[in-house]
Structure 1
Amino acid sequence: MNMLRNSLLSVSAALLLSACWFQDPAIKQVEQFITEQKVDKQTEGWRTKLTMPPKLTFAEDATYYWVLQTTLGEMKFELFHKTAPMHASSTIYLTTLGFYDSLIFHRVINDFMAQGGDPLGNGRGFPGYRYAGEFEPLVPHDQKGLLSMANAGPNTDGSQFFITFRATPHLNGRHTVFGKLVSDEKTLDLFNENGSRSGQPKQKLEILSAKILVE
């Protein structure tokens, strides 16, 4: 009986999550934008020719998660859509497009951070658009597991992100914190172990798939 009850609860939770996805205003908005853009993913280099999405309208009572399946395991991040709405919007847009699937972490420095999301895989790529940072003094680089946006200077944020292995206060006001790790810390520790002082990963570290969850 307990097994049946647990199964029914799991199904109910899945249906509720599915309903949240289809009814969420931000998801509806981004899917409409993608339809209008008519992105041809068969075209070579499509990841570098994208149009910047609009700043999405987020549901007040919803929590948005970014889930990465990687070669070292899964990581789930809560997106800070209230303090970094453009960064959350771009992440949701690119993820829904399948942009991040198969991209690598090209730079992993021990006890500092892991950087990925470059469509070229060498630290020089961007998705075809750039935008400004969103700096919130109450959301500093003060802990391990923060999701922050890489850039080449002011107004150059794009698709490249990094995940901190420790507090990095020297990055405050220079890089936008737009999320935090909620699970699994063990996977993040494995990334740290596979980094180096030079930033060259010890093995290929890949994003196998990325998805957005709305709860």
Structure 2
Amino acid sequence: MRFLTLFLTLFLSFQSHAKLDDGIYANLHTNQGDIIIKLAFEKTPLTVINFVGLAEGKKHSNIQIGKPFYNGLKFHRVINDFMVQGGDPKGNGTGGPGYQFNDEITDLTHDKGGILSMANSGPNTNGSQFFITHTATPWLDGKHTVFGHVVKGMSVVNTIKKDDFIRKVKIIRVGEKAINFKTDEAAFKAYNEKFIDLEITIKAKKREKLISFVKANYPNAKVAEAGHYVQINQTGTGDSPKSGDLVKVHLSIDLDDGTNMREAGKPLPFAAGS
């Protein structure tokens, strides 16, 4: 009887997974039911490696290696018609895995309910916390990493209340690419190093573009200690202000794309030396 029960369980599991397209999926077994999420491992590899690695206990964190990170954690934040948030070992929104990593902003957006996205406390502060949307939340685009979407169990997402919890997370791999995609600590480090190198390259190119723009448009500009450029078109007359004196300056701010951020005409007061 025990063998028959095990066989039926495996058979039903195989049947349900056979309906899934190629990809990597996370089955969140919650106290309200199952939520199956397809993970965007090709567009956001670092984020998916982190999530899967934590879920399977293969990623180094502040808990014992080999122990599934998400099992037993609560949905500590639930806002109706917005989202459900979980993944915090402290259960109050302040916890994480003991490290942070950078955003992976792609063309994936918060365009519907069922979007899986990383929670953060600002740019490049990702850890273990995530949220699933109830509806489209476009104001989060560019600020949070979208790394998956619900393919089954949206009714469960909409049922979840604060302090409901994840019993366990099961990772399902369908297809050769998904099976061969590594999600351990070594894979995380390798992708993270590539990501950091790419960020450095992008910043260097932006800097080169800025320098070329300044040379072409402000040939007499000098680099200030803080790294910005200053060009004096006309030297003022009269006594120089002492540190702390209140002075006024006419200031115009224009971006390199022609956007005017501030027009001259209204003096801007500030303390000299501040």
Give the TM-score range, shorter chain: 0.5 to 0.7
The match for 1:159 is 128
TM-aligned CA deviation for residue 13 of structure 1 = 8.1
Change (3 A) 1:105 1:13: closer
Corresponding position of 1:123: 93
Q: Does 1:211 align with 2:181?
A: no
Instruction: Give the Cα–Cα distance (whole angstroms) in 1 for the partners of residues 29 and 13 of structure 2.
Output: 21
Structure 1 residue 147: Cα displacement: 0.2
Code of the aligned partner of 2:71:
D
| Residue 79 of structure 1, CA deviation | 0.2
- Note closer, same or farther for the CA distance 1:185–1:12 as it changes in structure 2 (3 Å cut): closer
Deviations 1:110-165 (CA, angstroms, capped at 9, x unpaired): 0000000001111001101110110112x111000000000011111010000000
Q: Provide the secondary structure at the position in 2 that maps to 1:147.
A: strand
Whole-angstrom distance in 2 between the partners of 1:162 and 1:77: 12
Aligned to 1:183: 152
Give the TM-score of the pair, scaled to structure 2: 0.53
For the structure 1 residues 154 and 213, does the alpha-carbon distance in structure 2 shift closer, same or farther, using more than 3 Å as the test? same
Call closer, same or farther: CA 1:12–1:151 in 2, change over 3 Å: closer
Match of 1:101, SS? coil
* TM-score (norm. length: structure 1): 0.67
Structure 2 alignment gaps of length 5 or more: 1-6, 58-67, 175-274
Q: Which amino acid aligns with 1:72?
A: Q
> For 1:12 and 1:126, how far apart are their aligned partners in 2?
35
Tell me what 2:49 maps to: 89
Task: Measure, in 1, the Cα distance between the counterparts of 2:33 and 2:70.
Answer: 16
CA distance in 2, matches of 1:187, 1:12: 20
Which residue of the other structure, out of 146, 155, 171, is the alignment partner of 2:140? 171
Q: Distance in 1 between matches of 2:82 and 2:12?
A: 40
62 and 71 in structure 1: CA distance in 2 versus 1, 3 angstrom threshold? same
- Percent of aligned pairs sharing the same letter: 44
The aligned length equals 153
Q: State the SS of the aligned residue for 1:105.
A: coil
Greater relative CO (CA pairs within 8 A, separation 6+) = 1
**Higher radius of gyration, 1 or 2:** 2
Q: Mind listing any 5+ residue stretches in structure 1 that lack a counterpart?
A: 1-6, 18-60, 195-200
Matched, 1:71 2:31: yes
Report the Cα offset of residue 172 of structure 1: 0.5
Separation of aligned partners in 2, 1:184 and 1:11:
21
Amino acid of the structure 2 residue aligned with 1:188: V
CA distance in 2, matches of 1:13, 1:90: 25
- In structure 2, which of residues 30, 33, 40 is the aligned counterpart of residue 80 of structure 1? 40
RMSD of aligned alpha carbons: 2.2
